[in-house]
Chain A
Amino acid sequence: MKLLQTPVQEIETASELEKIINENENVMVCCGRMGPMCIPVYDTMEELQDEYEHVKFYSMAFDSPEAGVIRNAPECRGFMGLPFTMYYKNGEVAHATSSIQNRQQITTILDEKLK
């Protein structure tokens, strides 16, 4: 069931996430709610979809039990701010951030980690 009202395509299950990161070289997933720290990140991702055609952009609902793979990821240890944003390269976590990020912070990570 979709839980987020964002234009960024939502991943609903852990197995779907697994499949996506294994089938695509570069994937960014914003795992959050519909709150003030998360919406600006989804908004930026929506815009970047056209500019970063080599990256796939997805959202995932933080409160879904299926999002445990992200909530409990070792890269997210110590994270205490929504959203948890994951950057995957060839199926591996290349970077993860906690809390709101602006466009420049996101594009810097994309340019460095998901070339």
Chain B
Amino acid sequence: MEKYDLMIIGAGAAGLTAGIYASRAKLNTVIINEGVVGGQMVLTEEVANYPGVETTKGYMLANTMKTQAKSFGCKIRSNVKITSYALEDPVKSVTLEDGRSFSADAVILTPGGRPRSLNIPGEDQFKGTGISYCATCDGDFFTGKEVIVVGGGNSALEEAVALTNFATKVTIVHQFDHFQAFEHAIKEAQNNPKIEFIMESELREFIGDTTLEKVTIEHLPTGNMSEMNIDGVFIFVGYLPNTESLAGLVALNERNEIIVDPDMKTPIPGMFAAGDCIAKKYRQVTTAVADGTIAALSASEFLRTRNTKAAPKPASLSVQG
């Protein structure tokens, strides 16, 4: 069992920031991460709205945060799978698939979110041979071809417009009769002559031999099924919080987001949560970084007051540069 003061679950913007603050405050800190360090920042081609940093690649921002956290002594264990959690007791612990286990006196949950998939037949089979989740990565494979974009939010509409630089025709398939996106994004897509719309419809199946050849589409109001020949499908249907494995351990709302107070505390003493996984409206790198900061400071305060129960609580907590 590796023992720490603070354990952080997830190494995205929120977790790395919490790691930076906690290890700078001399807390013995470990971040345990299931996927790639940096989380969704790595999925972001360009970040142009992180103040103080000119337009940069998402992975560069992620790398800098990782280096910063490590330079203050934060340990990072990535690409691992947690198989069991015991987070309610004063000493919190997790066990990994490979048998290693970690314990700490406080935990910050920062598992973020992931792109939602359609979960329909053929989706796994044609990933990389017709189905993509990244227009900037794979757009040029569809030069001169016809593609479908599934979704009706900002990313679906923006990516559809971007794909018109490559594809001869882009068809947006959306389940509702209206879009959930900024007005300027909707206008730009509607004014693009290469973009067509199939509204109130959902994909039901991906069909092909070695590569994707066609899809089945259901028109929801009538239930009519039709087939459409297509070279590629790009899927942008929103994000899901990565909280499945935490259900039952912590209070979640109806969207499976973790409920916290303004100090990022959960109702369980010593358990905090931050970033895209919490119940909130705006999900950005800046908001994840802010949440991570607050969670780390709250956790430090929790550990300090717990260790010196008799000492009076400071009137306010200030952090020096």
Contacts and interface: CB of A to CB of B under 8 A. Distances in A.
Interface of A: 33-40, 43-44, 47, 77-82, 97-100, 102-103
Nearest to B38: A39
A39 B134 CA distance: 13
Given A36-B45, A37-B138, A81 B132 contact: yes
B211 A78 contact: yes
Interface of B: 35-38, 42-45, 57-59, 78-79, 127-134, 136-138, 141-142, 210-211, 232
A81 B35 contact: no
B32 to A, nearest CB: 14
A82 B138 contact: yes
Given A37-B134, A103-B79, A79 B129 contact: yes
Contact of A102 (B35, B45, B129, B210): B35
A33 B44 CA distance: 14
Nearest to A40: B36
Contacts of A103: 79
Nearest to B232: A80
A33 B134 CA distance: 13
Given A35-B134, A98-B128, A99-B132, A43 B36 contact: yes
Nearest to B62: A39
A99 B35 contact: no
B141 A81 contact: yes
Given A98-B128, A98-B129, 14 more contacts: A35-B45, A36-B134, A36-B137, A37-B138, A39-B59, A44-B79, A47-B79, A77-B210, A80-B130, A80-B132, A80-B232, A81-B129, A81-B138, A97-B128
Given A36-B44, A98-B129, A80 B138 contact: yes
A39 B42 contact: yes
A80 B128 contact: yes
A102 B79 CA distance: 9
Nearest to A101: B128
A82 B301 CA distance: 45
Closest 7 A/B residue pairs (Cβ): A99-B128, A98-B128, A81-B128, A80-B141, A40-B36, A36-B43, A78-B211
B57 A34 contact: yes
Contacts of A82: 137-138
A3 to B, nearest CB: 14
A36 B232 CA distance: 19
Contacts of A98: 127-129
Contact of A47 (B78, B130, B136): B78
B99 to A, nearest CB: 15
A102 B137 CA distance: 17
A26 B261 CA distance: 52
A46 B175 CA distance: 41
Contacts of A34: 57, 59
A100 B134 CA distance: 11
A78 B142 CA distance: 11
A100 B43 CA distance: 11
Contacts of A36: 42-45, 58-59, 134, 136-137
B59 A80 contact: no
18 contacts: A34-B59, A36-B58, A37-B133, A37-B137, A43-B37, A47-B78, A47-B79, A79-B128, A80-B128, A80-B129, A80-B132, A81-B127, A81-B128, A82-B138, A97-B128, A99-B127, A99-B138, A103-B79
B217 to A, nearest CB: 21
